Structure 1
Amino acid sequence: MEPKPPDVSADANPLRALSLDTLRQRTSMKWRTYPADVLPLWVAEMDVPLAAPVARTIADAVALGDTGYPAGTAYARALADFARERWGWHGLAVERTAIVPDVMLGIVEVLKLVTRPGDPVVVNCPVYPPFYQFLTHMDRRVVEAPLGAGLRIDFDVLEAAFRDAAAGGGRGAYLLCSPHNPTGTVHSAEELAAVAALAAEYGVRVVADEIHAPVVALDATFVPYLSVPGAERGFSLMSASKAWNLAGLKAALAVAGPEAGGDLARMPEEVSHGPSHVGVLAHSAALRDGGDWLDAVRAGLDENRRLLARLLAERLPAVRYRPASGTFLAWLDCRPLGLGDNPAAFFLERGRVALSPGPDFGTGGAGHVRLNLATSPEVLTEAVGRMAEALD
């Protein structure tokens, strides 16, 4: 079955739906970390209203008092249906899934199943900062395999890291970010198959963070890691949280490949008590009924990528930016500006724009910032204007 092409209404862009005054009434991390004069384009929350099917599902649950513990497989079945329809992937078996509190905590629980304290975990830096934080906290050794040309996987570097991981006699793992955060790189089927082949050669277990999987450009194709040949011993962590802005409604799924189901079955039963039942309902509704809304967001993000490229060319031409095919994040190389390792500090102090600091993303992050594109064109325009004026 071929993936379903999107059907997008050109006049329905959720990124244009909310005013800045309305957004400032929110009490989440994005809107409460900095003073009110700061434009927050940092943490991965989207400036959108909830998709109507999700809002209805939450309201119905509250009206019914359906706020107990999570149960059943509706979330996994909704994800399996979404994967078949969107990605042409028929291999997501509901019986090889486990509900987990969120993707990052799910990663931790899966790594506990296949590695031991002190074992190496390979990451492609620059990469999502909690990878470092959680791996260090659970006493795993982080092995960096920096991205190469075009911000894509460098397979010579990756093989060297796998060799390192296998050398000490430990049980090595590879924490793959797909699509990649912060660069927005969408890995190809050929790249993912090469990952699987290398992992098999060196006995490394692959754990794929695929939280941004639904959020790709309209002309891009996401490939699930577990759908490629050789990935049978791997795992995926998926959620509707990024694509439908549901981070505050905790729920995610761990998915095991055909040869990893036995490992997943060893996950403690109490882990399934961590997700929110209302979160499970909301995520299931998003996957099942939120496709049109998602495609409208994807179209709006495509517009914002083009807008950001134009704004930077006009106002900050020294900043290097390559519009990416995945996530709603932009990775900006600000090194030509001469602002040191952490340009985000300068733009916050002088421009009152909050961006994610590049050094937090590990090797390769110095001199960079990550900008959240999931906002209105007006806010994006204002933010770039402030950044440019800060340099005057």
Structure 2
Amino acid sequence: MLNAVPDDEDPPDSGAATGSRRRGARGNDGVLLDVEGTQVNISSPGKVFFPQRGETKLDLVRYYQAVATPLLATLGGRPLLMERHPNGAGGKSWFQKRVPSSVPDWLRTTVVSTPNGTTSDALVAADLAHVLWAVNLGCLGFHVWPYHADTPQVTDELRVDLDPSPGVTFADVRHAAGLARNLLRELDIEAFVKTTGSRGLHLYVRLEPRWDSYQVRAGAVALARELERRHPESVTAQWWKEERGSRVFVDFNQNAPHKTVFGAWCVRPRVGGQVSAPIRWDELPDIDPERLTIATVPERLQAGGDPWREMYERPQSLEPLLELSRRDIDSGLMDAPWPPVYPKQPNEPPRVAPSRAKRE
């Protein structure tokens, strides 16, 4: 939740380049990269970021260079919330939505808002140089807005977050992903899947540029509720944790305005360097997310190509899910609860846990 995370107000190393223009030139301050004509300095390139195998900051840079094409296909041009771990995975960390005050003159930013109206200048993933500039600051995680900086009024991604409740296994999450895919296919919507780099899965749908974030969230609520109606033993749309049980929660509020989701192809701040990796549906039954790391994902990409390539070629309609939403509202259902940092919304039920409501 963007208004709940701290900002770093001190101006750390901005990554602005000086000195040699030779590609990969080494100097006292590290490695100077020429990234398609933009100079990016990587300081302390040998600093270990992922202690499980000893991979360094420069190894992380090389990873992002290896996956640059699909990475920018999914997050290019979008605002980024940076998760900074300057001493590597397992060390001190913080979320940072504001870029530091001292930055290179080529760095592109955009104004983003939080639910309470606070604004910030956020980094834009304009190109690979912007990503590597953030990596130099110790960014081990990019959380991505669902719109492009040029068109903030249009949300062009539906993101289905399958969140395992306590007692839920990854096999259960895989099963829920298949159920969600089947339902979406009934609605003539094709979803694409990625690991989260942890215990869950994300399904993405690239949308035609016609809807705003409120409409996309309404579609996500309708999808979650329909999945729960059809598969109540496996899937839940219940916002309150006390009502979820040992089921996979379809977190519809990940589509609320101003929310971000961990980016595809991005590396998690885990000691093993796990990646939130797009995969093909036929890989899902046997995939082990723990093995999708900065050491293995580039080779997978080279061998099999981008599993999400078709997603970018055919944006889809949200209208079938909005029709489900209208049906639910017409039958008397209220909106689903919003996160506590958001203003009270029209047709929203009381924002109080059911057990507390009973006591009161």
TM bin (shorter chain): under 0.3
TM-score, scaled relative to structure 1: 0.25
Q: Which has the higher helix share?
A: 1
Q: Which has the higher strand share?
A: 2
TM-score, scaled relative to structure 2: 0.26
